[in-house]
């Protein structure tokens, strides 16, 4: 079928702008809502790539900066018409609002108030104390934080990484502090916390509860098995704290140190508490040099977030503590982890990430987050220079990738795994950081092309952010939205996206030879293609903050 794929939200006037056609048409035009032609251009033939399965033609209208008339524009070529979109300075305001607000909707423990949640309000959930699995000790109150995803688990490493994307966002781009998204007010020493910091504090407070007296951190708190599709307040099964891991302990040491550098401007006592907890976690790591990895308890099927080693986590913790305290001890500790990470990168065990391991910003490999602390430190030291180089050389690789398909997408076919939209968003974060180090048009264009892809310029012709775009997906694998009897899911949720692994039953109805970019279904049962999580939203917040700066 002849189709024109385009970013269904739209473009800022200064941005590169394009649509992608899957059929041959030499010319295209832009029409406004009244049907008037406002721009005409010629397409260029890209050809067939190995990710989209389409023979693509690109309609570039970067030269068009918008019209005075309000309303949506469309691309018309041959007999086909694209979805509508806008070209205005404020085109991404709603998107930014919605992607930040999602963290509020995912709050656990708290009831969602009608005043802030509207029709998506619900009662307080998961308030019972959690049993410490396999130990004869008193149950522990670990209420609060955010639900991880479509399930109701709360996982320390995932939470720390989502927080990190938001908090590094604040460090790199302070415009994030101005985003307003209607949540209950949080008072602090200096008055009231900016919304993004008030929301992040919800997860920080929860992670503090996940830390044991001895400084170590429980890997996760979940029911023994995934809950059925019920509202969160109906999920009354026993909560378990599964064992501590050095992964969670290091990630928490890192994110608390990072948070300290931000919250100290608002609330001294809170910031000092974060630093105290960070140092305590790090001291536990020092006393426990052997990696303590994580495996699910026999028979338990909730998220595992497994990792093969903890060097990247220890590197991140040391780098973040060095950045926050300036203490040479932590610099030396980070330096000590570097060769271990390099050795792991070269070993057979490492297959997780295509790209420079020192730029990886995921839930498992977190060395890139350590690099970001070093980039912020920028003290001319060997490690800081190394981190900058890593980001710049990775950004260069990504720009090369972007030349291999008509969408200008910096992804290769092997990147279409579970949560491929996060693979893309991690890359967009790297490009965003690279662009602050050394502004280059090709970096910005690769970021813009990634955003276009997420918002509809892809061969599925779907926007992967709920409520944003005429053809936005509507059926996330997300328990509350699946059972709340409300037609539309709440807006601003980033879908996991195409996954050639097709790791759920419904996904397996797709033909085996489906092109990577098309391995997607907007189906509620597709947890391997269409779930949401906090750490798929958070990198988009970082990227949008950079783009809107």
Binding residues for ligand G3I (CB under 6 A): 148-151, 153, 303, 351-352, 417-419, 501, 503, 527, 531, 533
Q: Does 527 engage in binding with ligand 9MR (CB under 6 A)?
A: yes
Q: Residues 6 or more apart from 462 whose CB is under 8 A from it?
A: 456, 469, 471, 472, 473, 520, 522
At 294, is the secondary structure helix, strand, or coil? coil
Q: Does 10 engage in binding with ligand 9MR (CB under 6 A)?
A: no
Distance CA 476, CA 127 (A): 25
Q: Which one, 367 or 532, has the nearer CB to ligand 9MR? A: 532
CB 379 within 8 A of CB 24: no
Q: Does 496 engage in binding with ligand 9MR (CB under 6 A)?
A: no
Q: Which one, 180 or 236, has the nearer CB to Zn ion? A: 236
Q: Does 149 engage in binding with Zn ion (CB under 5 A)?
A: no
User: What is the smallest separation between the CB atom of 481 and ligand 9MR, expressed in angstroms?
Assistant: 12
Q: Which residues pair with 6 in a beta bridge?
A: 19
Residue 178 burial (C-beta neighbours within 10 Å; 0-12, 13-18, 19+): exposed
Distance CA 509, CA 23 (A): 27
Q: Which one, 303 or 489, has the nearer CB to ligand 9MR? A: 303
205 labelled catalytic = no
- CA-wise closest residue to 109 among 93, 94, 123: 123
Which residue's Cβ has the minimum distance to ligand 9MR?
151
Q: Which one, 391 or 416, has the nearer CB to ligand 9MR? A: 416
Instruction: Retrieve residue 93's tokens.
Output: 């305001």
CB 136 within 8 A of CB 122: no
Distance CA 94, CA 79 (A): 32
Q: Give the footprint of ligand 9MR on residues 300-339 (CB under 6 A).
A: 301, 303
Distance CA 270, CA 262 (A): 11
277 binds, among Zn ion, ligand 9MR, ligand G3I, none (CB under 5 to 8 A by kind): none
Instruction: Retrieve residue 54's tokens.
Output: 């389409």
Among 226, 314, 442, 518, binds ligand 9MR (CB under 6 A): 226
Number of other residues whose CB lies within 10 A of the CB of residue 534: 26
User: What is the smallest separation between the CB atom of 506 and ligand 9MR, expressed in angstroms?
Assistant: 10
- CA-wise closest residue to 147 among 399, 493, 459, 503: 493
Size of site (CB under 5 A) for Zn ion? 4
24 labelled catalytic = no
Q: Does 149 engage in binding with ligand 9MR (CB under 6 A)?
A: yes
406 binds, among ligand 9MR, ligand G3I, Zn ion, none (CB under 5 to 8 A by kind): none
Give the footprint of Zn ion on this chain (CB under 5 A).
108, 125-126, 232
Annotated catalytic sites, by residue? 522, 531
Give the footprint of ligand 9MR on this chain (CB under 6 A).
149-151, 226, 301, 303, 527, 531
């Amino acid at each position: 079928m002849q189709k024109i794929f385009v970013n269904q939200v739209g473009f800022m006037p200064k941005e590169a702008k394009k649509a992608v056609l899957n059929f041959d048409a030499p010319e295209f035009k832009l029409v406004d809502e009244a049907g008037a032609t406002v721009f005409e251009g010629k397409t260029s033939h890209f050809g067939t790539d190995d990710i989209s399965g389409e023979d693509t033609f690109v309609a570039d209208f970067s030269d068009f900066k918008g019209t005075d008339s309000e309303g949506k524009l469309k691309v018309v070529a041959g007999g086909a018409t694209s979805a509508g979109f806008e070209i205005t300075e404020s085109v991404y305001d709603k998107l930014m609002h919605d992607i930040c607000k999602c963290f509020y909707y995912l709050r656990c423990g708290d009831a969602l108030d009608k005043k802030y949640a509207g029709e998506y309000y619900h009662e307080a959930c998961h308030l019972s104390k959690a049993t410490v699995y396999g130990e004869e000790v008193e149950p522990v109150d670990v209420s609060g934080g955010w639900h991880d995803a479509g399930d109701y688990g709360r996982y320390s490493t995932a939470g720390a990484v989502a927080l990190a994307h938001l908090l590094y966002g604040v460090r790199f781009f302070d415009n994030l502090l101005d985003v307003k998204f209607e949540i209950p007010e949080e008072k602090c020493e200096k008055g009231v916390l900016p919304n993004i910091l008030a929301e992040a504090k919800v997860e920080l407070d929860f992670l503090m509860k996940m830390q044991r007296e001895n400084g170590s951190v429980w890997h996760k708190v979940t029911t023994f098995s995934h809950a059925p599709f019920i509202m969160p307040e109906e999920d009354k099964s026993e909560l378990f704290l599964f064992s501590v891991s050095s992964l969670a302990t290091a990630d928490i040491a890192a994110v608390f140190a990072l948070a300290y550098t931000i919250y100290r401007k608002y609330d001294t006592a809170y910031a000092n508490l974060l630093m105290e907890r960070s140092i305590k976690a790090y001291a536990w790591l020092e006393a426990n040099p052997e990696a303590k990895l994580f495996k699910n308890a026999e028979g338990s099927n909730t998220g595992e977030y497994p990792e093969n080693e903890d060097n990247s986590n220890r590197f991140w913790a040391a780098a973040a503590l060095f950045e926050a305290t300036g203490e040479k001890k932590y610099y030396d500790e980070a330096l000590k982890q570097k060769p271990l990470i390099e050795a792991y990168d070269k070993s057979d065990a490492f297959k997780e990430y295509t790209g420079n391991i020192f730029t990886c910003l995921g839930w498992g490999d977190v060395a890139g987050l350590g690099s970001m602390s070093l980039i912020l430190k920028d003290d001319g030291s060997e490690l800081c220079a190394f981190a900058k180089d890593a980001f710049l050389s990775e950004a260069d690789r990504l720009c090369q990738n972007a030349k291999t398909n008509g969408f200008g997408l910096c992804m290769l076919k092997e990147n279409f795994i579970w949560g491929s939209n996060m693979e893309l968003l991690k890359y967009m974060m790297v490009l965003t950081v690279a662009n602050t180090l050394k502004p280059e048009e090709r970096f910005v264009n690769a970021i813009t092309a990634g955003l276009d892809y997420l918002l509809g310029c892809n061969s599925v012709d779907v926007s992967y952010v709920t409520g944003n775009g005429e053809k936005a997906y509507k059926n996330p694998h997300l328990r509350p939205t699946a059972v709340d009897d409300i037609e539309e899911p709440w807006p601003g949720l980033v879908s996991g996206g195409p996954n050639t692994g097709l790791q759920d039953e419904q996904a397996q109805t797709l033909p085996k030879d489906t092109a990577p970019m098309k391995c997607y279904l907007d189906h509620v049962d597709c947890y391997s293609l269409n779930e949401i999580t906090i750490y798929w939203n958070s990198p988009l917040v970082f990227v949008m903050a950079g783009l809107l700066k």
